[in-house]
A and B are shown apart, each in its own frame.
Chain A
Amino acid sequence: SQTIHQWPATLVQPVGSPLSLECTVEGTSNPNLYWYRQAAGRGLQLLFYSVGIGQISSEVPQNLSASRPQDRQFILSSKKLLLSDSGFYLCAWSVLRRVSGNTIYFGEGSWLTVV
């Protein structure tokens, strides 16, 4: 069965410090990978998605970047955090299929508080 691991679960970082959130998927190959952000328990905003190693698409301009160094590894980074980067970050994966959309499977999320 497929599993997704995301860490750390919680972190508090000072403004201006770097960030690295990691996500790995097991039990599947060549998944689509996603980073979402959720503010105040409301809707999800897609930040990045990747259809393959080294292929990253950014949905919104921001202070964050993403990388996919391996097939099942997705990393969210920042060189200098802003207060507005605080939020709940969710990694997710799906399997690419033609014709119809894909069900997305989420990790447990990472709470980031920038102070």
Chain B
Amino acid sequence: SQQGEEDPQALSIQEGENATMNCSYKTSINNLQWYRQNSGRGLVHLILIRSNEREKHSGRLRVTLDTSKKSSSLLITASRAADTASYFCAFSSYAGGTSYGKLTFGQGTILTVHP
């Protein structure tokens, strides 16, 4: 299966702590993305890291990518109760000379941040 795997499946922390979520995949990719989903809502794009990048930052988010290990991590620093959501990694595989934007999603990590 090309589906990504995420761990942990669920993460419960206190406000102010850091949250780290991991994603592993099996194919060669040209980029990896992270999305956030509030309960019962659509997914919102957070950050994209290309296969030739190792680390990327966006506000309190830090994403790393290790293509040799086929893994990525998402770190949320100084978490807030409003960060409570499900987080999904998604990756795009290079298909010949073009990409149709088909993303394969992981199973997600449910993050709960307690105030």
Q: Is A94 an interface residue, CB under 8 A from the partner?
A: yes
Residue positions of A touching B, CB distance < 8 A:
6, 32, 41-44, 46, 49, 51, 88, 90, 92, 94-109, 111
Contact A101 B40 (CB under 8 A): no
With A100-B50, A103-B48 as known contacts, state yes or no: A109 contacts B30, CB within 8 Å. no
B105 touches A102 (CB 8 A): no
Q: How many A-B residue pairs have CB under 8 A?
A: 78
Residues of B within 8 A of A42 (CB): 107-108
Q: In terms of DSSP, what is the predominant structure of the interface of chain B?
A: strand
Residues of A within 8 A of B78 (CB): none
Q: Mark B81-115, 1 if CB is under 8 A from A, else 0.
A: 00000101011100001111111111110100000
- 13 extra A-B contacts, CB within 8 A, seeds A43-B3, A98-B97: A6-B42, A32-B101, A44-B105, A49-B100, A92-B42, A94-B101, A96-B101, A97-B99, A99-B30, A100-B50, A101-B101, A102-B99, A103-B48
Q: Which residues of B contact A95 (CB under 8 A)?
A: 101
Nearest chain B residue, comparing its CB with the CB of A107? B42
The residues of B with any CB-CB pair to A shorter than 8 Å are 3, 30-31, 33, 39-45, 48, 50, 86, 88, 90-92, 97-108, 110
Q: Is the CB of B31 within 8 A of A101?
A: yes
Residues of B within 8 A of A111 (CB): 40
Q: Is the CB of B106 within 8 A of A96?
A: no
Pick from B41, B48, B86: contact of A108, CB under 8 Å: B41
Chain A residues whose C-beta falls within 8 Å of the C-beta of B86 in the assembled complex: 41
CB atoms of B102 and A109 under 8 A apart: no
- Of the candidates B97, B103, B106, B108, the one whose C-beta lies within 8 Å of that of A104 is B103
| Contact partners of B48 in chain A: CB under 8 A | 101, 103
Query: What chain B residues lie within 8 Å of A101 (beta carbons)?
Result: 30-31, 33, 48, 91-92, 99, 101, 103
Check A41–B39 contact: CB distance below 8 A: yes
Q: Is A100 touching B107 in the complex (CB atoms < 8 A)? A: no
Check B33–A100 contact: CB distance below 8 A.
no
